[in-house]
Structure 1
Amino acid sequence: MFLVAIFLALLAGFVSANGGVITTPTNGTVIMPGESFAFSYDPMADYSISTYNYTVFLFTKLPSSLFSSTEWSNGHYFGRFDYPNYPAVPYSTHPAPANLTMPDFSQSPRTGWGSGANVTNATVYLLVLEEWLTGSDNFGLTMSLAINELIYNGTTSGS
């Protein structure tokens, strides 16, 4: 688990230095269950770099490995979006919304056997997995990962 966390942190740091950055919300932002929060992502797209799609997730725990397992991680899927950049996506048909809503993990997501759990001050991870290419030959799309740590259901301490 520790090695995977280091790998993901290094990968996110590398991508952040070259584009592919979650600009809002910033690391450490406290967001309450059910709260709408601003979301903004600055993709890799630039001259000679084409961004195709990016997918936004919220993980409540990082994966323990990069290999398949029956319980790889926990979290929420916000959606797959595109970004207007020529020539890859001349006109965005599915842009990301300006705001996302923090799921309420204390509630069951739907009918069925699922149930929720009430937690406070939990570190969660907003992830963006971006698909992009340059003008050189590539065996499949290049994928980059950006991660911001948020605080789910934060409480105030106090005087």
Structure 2
Amino acid sequence: MARQLRFTGTDSKVDGRPALHADEGTGEIIVQGTPVTDPEDLAQLQHLGPNDAAVAVPRELLVNWGPKETERVPEIVDRDTFRRLFQRYLWREDAERTALPAEDFWIFDPRLVALLHFDDDDNLLNIELTTEPAEVVRYCVVRDAAMHHAVPRDEFAAQVAPNE
């Protein structure tokens, strides 16, 4: 069965290589880079098996786009903490019309995203904070696409009041 790979990032300014991808099923990181083929270079690698491949990538790629922890542990915050961070709103219908992912999230700065988890009855279950660079960038891309339709809290509240 094919892996479910998600692009996590590149430092390339030209063709998107080298790059990192994450396997959504296993959490493994797939490194895409220039193959190391020189026999003298390969001879220096320790524990390189007969079916292994070595690739060369700039250190910055791993520093900027690699995971910072071996296992991602979400930070759950209470509603009061979350409310202090809240910034903009987007109607679900607007998100569906623009084909945005069906995720409720909020970006607070270039390193922090809150992902809101709801049950089937639309009750807030918890709020997950992430600072994983590749995840933050993914949410920033979605945010940029949604920003045209998002409105400040007061404007959103004014739209909600007449509907109640």
With normalisation by structure 1, the TM-score equals: 0.22
Greater relative contact order, per chain length (Cα 8 Å cut-off, separation 6+): 1
